[in-house]
Amino acid sequence: MHYIACDLHKQVCSVCVVDDVVREQEYPLPEEAIVLEEEMRSTRIALARLLNRVREIAGESEPLTVVVETNSSWYWFVDYLEPLVDEVKLVNAEKAKAIASARIKTDKLDARVLAWLARNKLIPEVYIPPKALRDTRELLRYRSYLVRTRTRLKAKIQSQLEKLGISHEFSDLFGKGGREWLGRLRAREPYKLTILGLLDVVNAADRKIEEAEKEIFNGRLKLDRETELLKTLPGFGDLFAGHARLEILDIKRFAGHKNFVRYCGLAPGTYQSAKRKRRKGLVKQANHWLKWIYVEAAHHAARHPCFEETYRRQCAKNGKAVAKLTVARRLAIATYYMLKEGEAFRGAA
């Protein structure tokens, strides 16, 4: 077995290739274990050349495992390598740094450290879903991004009207009647230009969202057992359930509901020094797509009998923003136990 550890960046990639002939727990790696060490450009051509060189050294039949830490560039890297090597391992960068600093006393992960972790079976691995699921998830993320962007654009139009002191009686300003009213609105420049320009972008976003949804429902979104369970949650339809399903993947990855809530970015961080312990804001290292899904679903879930009293109590005590996060957190907890036990939401009609 040979391990190809890659410290991947946007432009360059540091590579350290080691074998597992002799396993050494001590760091640094013994020089005789290092088969190849170099810096190359982060391109498919450079990667192909690297694999050819490693196979020349190690032999065509030697198993190859590639190790790379999580960052914004891992998608193309994994897509390219999966059919070419025996195994690709995606490393949780934060956990790897914690392991490395405990053993090696360094706060930086480079290729040698990754190679050492791989060689000694200490890699904190991140699950890589099959390519087809990754592609569908990317499409769902695109659709969600468009929806989030459209929401911000609509809020900006509302704020422009407030600046002008203009009120309206539409229950939905962005329904057919409301949009026609905005198109005829008399306002001084630059407000009219801003409102009409933003409305054009909202209309364009509507079209792109519709296109994305057609592609999603054209055989890509699989309404499996877990997705059907998620659809029983208040505020969840086909799209939210399907997207959440592909972000969660396997609920068994989480040791308990607290771990899952933290992964969703809905758990408060904590600061502890000696005997003093206080809560901070929500955790930053999280799946922000799941966080958005649960917060959006909380708009509707707040009116559900299972959450209505909690929402009202939190509103009175801490305000609407905290109340909505509380409901979102309850939805995430319900999700964990629903998927773990294979049961529908118990408050569902």
Q: What is the pLDDT of residues 264-276, one digit of tens each?
A: 999 875 544 445 5
Residue of 154 and 92 predicted with greater confidence: 154
pLDDT classification of 187: cutoffs 50, 70, 90: confident
The percent of residues above 90 in pLDDT, for the chain, comes to 68
Gap between the Cα atoms of 343 and 65, Å rounded: 38
Kindly report the pTM of this predicted structure: 0.83
The ranges assigned to domains in the chain are 2-126, 131-221, 241-341
Residue 290 has pLDDT above 80, yes or no: yes
Between β-strands 64-69 and 34-41, what pairing exists: parallel, antiparallel or unpaired? Answer: unpaired
Q: Round the average pLDDT of the chain to a whole number and report it.
A: 88
pLDDT classification of 281: cutoffs 50, 70, 90: low
Give the pLDDT mean for 225-247: 95
Residue 112 buriedness (CB in 10 A; 0-12 / 13-18 / 19+): buried
Please tell me the class of the 2-126 domain: alpha beta
pLDDT score of 72: 84
Strand order in 2-8's β-sheet?
34-41, 12-19, 2-8, 64-69, 87-91, 125-126
Residue 81 has pLDDT above 90, yes or no: yes
Dihedral of alpha carbons 262, 250, 287, 315, sign: negative
Residue of 278 and 68 predicted with greater confidence: 68
Residue 348 has pLDDT above 90, yes or no: no
Tokens of 34: 């290092």
